Structures are given as structure tokens and as C-alpha cells.
């Protein structure tokens, strides 16, 4: 019998009725979002590309892109003409 002939069984996860499996850790994500906001708040002149932000913050590039996009959508950050993420003026005034 060859390894190619072996068929595995699908793994099933039994959860109580009404319970959804959640992969994301929302508390950790919110802490990370607060940390990124604080970085831009503490350093008003900070301007970063996505890759620079990912490296500086120690966050996976895809996750960093989602968080920066969310902060941009919320008005905390903006992207300037050079495609750098910077603190939005509204956020700089504390509004």
C-alpha cells in the first residue's frame, strides 16, 4: 500500500448549538490598533509606507494594511500624495 492510497477523514469540530468558531482575537487586534494610533499621536511628523509601518510596528504586512486602511477610513490617518500614511489633521487636533 502506497501513501497515495491512504485517504484521510475530514476533521469535524463539534460546537454547542449557536456557538460560532472565531479565529480572530479581537482584544489583541484592538490593543494593536490603539498602539498604532498612539505611535502616530506621539510622533506628529511620522510618515510611513505600508512596508515601513509593518516593519516598525512588527505587524504582518497584510494585517498592517487592513489596520491602516481602517484608521484611514475612520479619519485617524490619511495617505498623502507620496502614498505615505500620516496623522490626519483632525486627529492631530484631538478631535
The reported pTM is 0.67
Q: Parse the chain into domains and list their residue ranges.
A: 32-95
Strands (E), the chain: 47-48, 77-79, 85-87
Of the candidates 77, 76, 39, the residue with the CA atom closest to the CA atom of residue 59: 39
| Beta-carbon contacts of residue 40 (< 8 Å; ≥ 6 apart) | 46, 76, 77, 85, 86, 87, 91
Chain segment 30-75, per-residue pLDDT in tens: 999 999 999 999 998 999 999 999 999 898 899 999 999 999 999 9
- Assign a CATH topology to domain 32-95: Arc Repressor Mutant, subunit A (1.10.10)
At residue 85, φ and ψ (nearest 5 deg) are -85, 125
Residue range 75-93, pLDDT digits in tens: 999 999 999 999 997 544 4
Match 498602539 to its residue by C-alpha cell.
35
Amino acid at each position: 500500500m502506497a501513501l497515495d492510497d491512504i485517504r484521510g477523514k475530514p476533521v469535524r469540530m463539534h460546537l454547542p448549538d449557536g456557538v460560532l468558531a472565531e479565529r480572530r482575537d479581537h482584544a489583541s487586534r484592538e490593543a494593536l490598533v490603539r498602539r498604532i494610533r498612539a505611535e502616530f499621536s506621539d510622533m506628529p511628523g511620522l510618515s510611513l509606507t505600508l512596508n515601513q509601518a509593518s516593519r516598525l510596528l512588527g505587524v504582518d504586512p497584510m494585517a498592517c494594511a487592513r489596520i491602516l486602511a481602517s484608521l484611514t477610513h475612520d479619519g485617524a490617518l490619511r495617505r498623502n500624495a507620496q502614498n505615505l500614511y500620516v496623522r490626519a489633521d483632525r486627529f492631530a487636533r484631538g478631535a
